[in-house]
Amino acid sequence: MKNNHKSGGPLGFLKQEYYQSWANYHVKFLNAYAEHNISFWAISTGNEPMSGIIGLPIPAVGWIAFTQKQWVQNNLGPAIRKSAHSKIKLLALDGQRYLLPSYIEIMFESKKVKDYIDGIAVHWYGDNISPSFSLTFTHEQFPEKPILATEASIGVYQKQKVSLGNWERGERYVHSIIQLISSIVIEVCKALKMALRDQVKIPATSGKKCRFI
């Protein structure tokens, strides 16, 4: 299905003739879980689109913003919305914040894609080279799209995977959480509302400016 014939990268892009098959797979995935009475609140447009390009040692499909825009517009978006899972949330990017806001700007050049996408998912890898105000810039352009932090892990590339009581690792998590809350507090509240489906009252944040540290 990919031009490099590998599960990962480098330069592992999905062949265009398989765009619809890949979209259909997502629906079949949801159908299989539904048969066991397991439902999903949201799925993303794909984990870390850059990982399949730069060649990290993980299974990954490489996307640039333009090709993913085409796939969501013509394949994934219609397939999900026409399925029994039409109300599921679609989260874009699901990758590093150094791609913001340009990646989302390109995807949202398509009104259809912007309508299909319910929120933006970000990971924390590369935060040391990417200022947190990229989140603020993204929010200011697309305030109706909540930004969710969807992945952060330590020890992936270290020899010692688990290090109990490691304060250095703990401090990294705390710093990241403070940055996220300070930068996208409005989105956090919106995300809670989305997840809880307005079943509980969330404090209003209207008029509260996004901040970064």
Whether 76 and 44 have beta carbons less than 8 Å apart is answered as no
CA-derived radius of gyration, the chain: 18
| Catalytic residue set | 48, 151
Amino acid at residue number 5: H
The backbone region for 25, taken as left when phi is positive above 0, alpha when psi lies in -120 to 50, beta otherwise, is alpha
Write the DSSP symbol of residue 101: T
Whether 77 and 113 have beta carbons less than 8 Å apart is answered as yes
Rounded Cα distance between 60 and 6, Å, is 9
Rounded Cα distance between 91 and 45, Å, is 6
The backbone region for 53, taken as left when phi is positive above 0, alpha when psi lies in -120 to 50, beta otherwise, is alpha
